[in-house]
Amino acid sequence: MATKRILNLCAPVDGWLEASADGAAPADGKPVLRRFAMTAYTGGPMTLAGWSHPVVVDLAGLQVSAKSRPILKDHNRSLIVGHTESVSVQGSRLLVSGVISGAGSVAREIVDSSRNGFPWQASLGAVANPGAMEFVAKGRTAAVNGQQFEGPVHIARRSVLGEVSFVALGADDNTTANVAAAAIKEDDMTFDQWLVAKGFDPASLNDTQKASLQAMFDAAPEPKPGAVTATATNDDPSSGGDTDVVARIRAETAAETKRIGEVRRVCAVGGGRHTDLEAKAIAEGWDVTKTELEVLRADRPVYTGVRRDADAAQSARAVEAALCISAGLPETQVGKWYDERTMNAALARDLRGAGLHTLLYETIRAGGEYIRPGRVDNDTIKAAFSADRRLIQASGSGGSSFSTISLSGILSNVANKTMLAAYTAVESVVAMFCAETDVNDFKEVTRYRLTGTGVFEKVGPDGELKHAGLSEQAYTNKVETFGRMIALTRQMMINDDLGAFLQIPRIIGRMSALKREEAVFELLLSNPATFFSVGNKNFISGATTNLSIDSLTQGEQLFLDQTDTDGKPILLSPAVLLVPSALKVTAQVLMTETRINETTTADKGKPAANPHAGKWKPVATPYLNSQGFSGSSAKAWYLFANPADVAAIEIAYLRGKRTPTIESGDTDFNTLGMQWRGYFDFGVAMQDSRAAIKSKGEV
């Protein structure tokens, strides 16, 4: 696909600036604008950056809008000089005239430097239409603008004029520039007026900067009224121009080398801090005075509403760690989240016992404001919220040097850590016998377990291997969301009550863990679709199924006898013995003691050796015998396979997030506070019935 090509077509300015005589203003009271005229292009070949051969613009194909075109400096849209009033093509020349309508220091620079005799040149910003560039190869010729050009050369047959710029050095050196100074006399400027004209705020400058600028102001030459004409040199000897081209080039090269050296010296202040400014100054032809001004402008403090701090991230982490300790999290646990330097700062006197008030004042300070420490009131809270919004906006704009202290961000991190500590403190057992997996959304997902049919067969003399069949077993699961809202109220902030704020994250963390346990055991005890049944060969009932050596033997055999769809053994063994809390001690004894004295109902002796000692991991839970769940029993017990092998129950999480989440959000307009939401996305489902057996536990 063809693309548009940008052409910056440079040529010296042939123009003039004028104003009304004696500085008289027109009758309508509007300011008199200086005018200019340019011979902007003479139709010849130009050497342009990015082009391997000279470029000629076909003036017959140059489109010029009827609207005024901007007059810029160095093709920079922010450096406005004026606008055009007339653009015309006369033979092989492009003529441009207009007014200096720019109101800033750029337009003043053009006028002042013209008074001093600087030969400004013009550069046309044009866009070549797709497919409009014609290449003339070496040995061929082409007619353009009434002239014959030999290749290799590029010809822009169709292009659109965008803007015209004043530049220090053009590519077409055959046009001229005439600049007449305004007849309007300028009032003598004071130093402060000069600063404002140059774009500085006098109140924002320090003493060193003011001294440097004062020296530049004192050294500046007085403007000299009268017409000043600057004409570009024509290097063609046949037209009567300068014949000592080599000498002139040497002089220009020496002057340019000196200018670049001075620019580099000025930009090297502070060990080369202004490398980008140096490159721009060299590329755009700045003199030493302009470079010094720009360096001073870059060095002056810029108020953004956000405090810049090289160690801001470290400060934010220290405040966060101090709040975690104040929230009651063990110091040893907090030390695992933060480095030694952060912990030392968090435990130092300034942050020891930090609370919500500490965070409010740190946020205000980081946002570039100051409020007298003391009693926290509505003004303090509003100032902290305002600073927090600026900090978030600054961070989102990509400014890595901005402070990372944030009211909402730090409280979110502390709330998350408090919630996670409460979540992990719950002694969960479901992960010991349930498989855990991830899904991408909240839609119901189907899992397929492929089982091989048939066994290895003897290979015949022909070496042919028989195909083994695969049969699918499908199971479904679906993720749901569980959560609560958290609010940081005005009362909590005024009371400096960090504990009250963090009470809900603690509850969310603990309730999330309990909800997961509850969901698993509620599903298990409901026995959906008769998951545990005689038909599935995973349920034993009747007498002597209570937890004992004999019933464990019976359950293990039932486990080992599980088969695939062809009736072949799948060689699956139990790994976890799950019992209600009422049978916890019995299960521990059976799994640890090698000798147990059991008797029959007839009071007859039995072997004392325990064949099941150490076989499986005993896991006890009160959910199995809780009266709040349908199907609960204090006698029933279960054997489960290792869930990494084959799982009877699956827990699915949304996109790998296996712990709850807390996110900050805005409160209602009528609420002076902040709020967060805590939620947990997971789902549970029964899977392979051959991975578990249940005993009714009857005596």
| Residue-wise pLDDT tens digits, 514-524 | 889 999 999 99
| 209 has pLDDT over 80 | no
| Least confident stretch, 38-42, 104-108, 187-191, 442-446 | 187-191
Q: Are residues 519 and 435 in the same domain?
A: yes
Q: What is the pLDDT of residue 616?
A: 94
| 75 has pLDDT over 90 | no
Q: Are residues 385 and 445 in the same domain?
A: no
SS3 for 320? helix
Distance CA 141, CA 137 (A): 8
pLDDT, one tens digit per residue, over 266-319 is 887 654 567 778 888 888 888 888 888 787 767 654 444 444 444 567 788 888
Q: What percent of the chain has pLDDT over 90?
A: 14
Structural domain ending residue among the three candidates 135, 151, 186? 186
Residue of higher predicted confidence among 497 and 208: 497
Residues whose CB is less than 8 angstroms from the CB of residue 269 and which lie 6 or more positions away in sequence, other chains included: 295, 299
* pLDDT bracket for residue 639 (50, 70, 90): very high
Report yes or no: 83 and 70 within 8 Å, Cβ to Cβ: yes
Residue of higher predicted confidence among 296 and 359: 359
pLDDT, one tens digit per residue, over 380-434 is 888 888 887 777 776 654 443 344 677 777 888 888 888 888 888 888 899 999 9
Q: What is the pLDDT of residue 404?
A: 63
261 in a structural domain: no
Structural domain ending residue among the three candidates 156, 186, 216? 186
Q: What is the pLDDT of residue 693?
A: 94
Q: Are residues 399 and 437 in the same domain?
A: no
Residues whose CB is less than 8 angstroms from the CB of residue 551 and which lie 6 or more positions away in sequence, other chains included: 540, 544, 545, 695, 697
Domain hosting residue 549, numbered range: 426-451+473-573+630-699
Q: What is the pLDDT of residue 114?
A: 78
Distance CA 191, CA 214 (A): 7
| 529 has pLDDT over 80 | yes
Q: What is the pLDDT of residue 239?
A: 40
Q: What is the pLDDT of residue 5?
A: 52
Report yes or no: 44 and 94 within 8 Å, Cβ to Cβ: no
| 640 has pLDDT over 90 | yes
Q: What is the mean pLDDT of residues 217-244?
A: 41
Q: Read out DSSP for 282-302?
A: HHHT--HHHHHHHHHHHHS--
Q: Are residues 381 and 324 in the same domain?
A: yes
Q: Are residues 553 and 681 in the same domain?
A: yes
Residue of higher predicted confidence among 230 and 348: 348
Q: What is the mean pLDDT of residues 71-97?
A: 84
Residue of higher predicted confidence among 493 and 152: 152
Q: What is the pLDDT of residue 465?
A: 62
Q: Are residues 447 and 340 in the same domain?
A: no
Residue of higher predicted confidence among 653 and 564: 653
Q: Are residues 515 and 569 in the same domain?
A: yes
* pLDDT bracket for residue 671 (50, 70, 90): low
Structural domain ending residue among the three candidates 154, 186, 218? 186
Q: Are residues 355 and 398 in the same domain?
A: yes
Q: Which helix (H) or strand (E) holds 414?
A: helix 407-425
pLDDT, one tens digit per residue, over 306-329 is 444 445 677 888 888 888 888 888
394 in a structural domain: yes
Structural domain count, the chain? 3
536 in a structural domain: yes
Q: What percent of the chain has pLDDT over 70?
A: 73
Q: What is the pLDDT of residue 572?
A: 87
297 in a structural domain: no
Q: Are residues 399 and 432 in the same domain?
A: no
Q: Are residues 102 and 30 in the same domain?
A: yes
Distances in Å between the Cα of 106 and the Cα atoms of 84, 110, 197, 204, 293 are 17, 6, 10, 22, 13
| 247 has pLDDT over 60 | yes
| Amino acid code (one letter) for 337 | W
pLDDT, one tens digit per residue, over 445-483 is 776 554 555 555 666 676 666 555 545 566 677 778 877
Count other C-beta atoms under 10 Å from residue 648's C-beta. Answer: 25
Q: What is the pLDDT of residue 434?
A: 93
Count other C-beta atoms under 10 Å from residue 342's C-beta. Answer: 22
Residues whose CB is less than 8 angstroms from the CB of residue 266 and which lie 6 or more positions away in sequence, other chains included: 288, 291, 292, 295
| 238 has pLDDT over 50 | no
Q: What is the pLDDT of residue 240?
A: 41
Residue of higher predicted confidence among 507 and 204: 507
The separation between the first and the last C-alpha atoms of the chain, rounded to the nearest angstrom, is 84
555 in a structural domain: yes
437 in a structural domain: yes
Q: Are residues 431 and 348 in the same domain?
A: no
DSSP letter for 164, please.
Answer: E
Q: What angle do CA 89, 95, 96 make, to 5 degrees?
A: 125
pLDDT, one tens digit per residue, over 145-182 is 888 888 888 888 888 888 888 887 765 555 443 333 33
Q: Are residues 382 and 520 in the same domain?
A: no
Q: What is the mean pLDDT of residues 199-208?
A: 68
372 in a structural domain: yes
Q: What is the pLDDT of residue 666?
A: 58
pLDDT, one tens digit per residue, over 576-616 is 999 999 999 999 999 998 887 666 555 555 667 888 999 99
How confident is the prediction for the chain on average, in pLDDT?
Answer: 76
Distance CA 321, CA 352 (A): 10
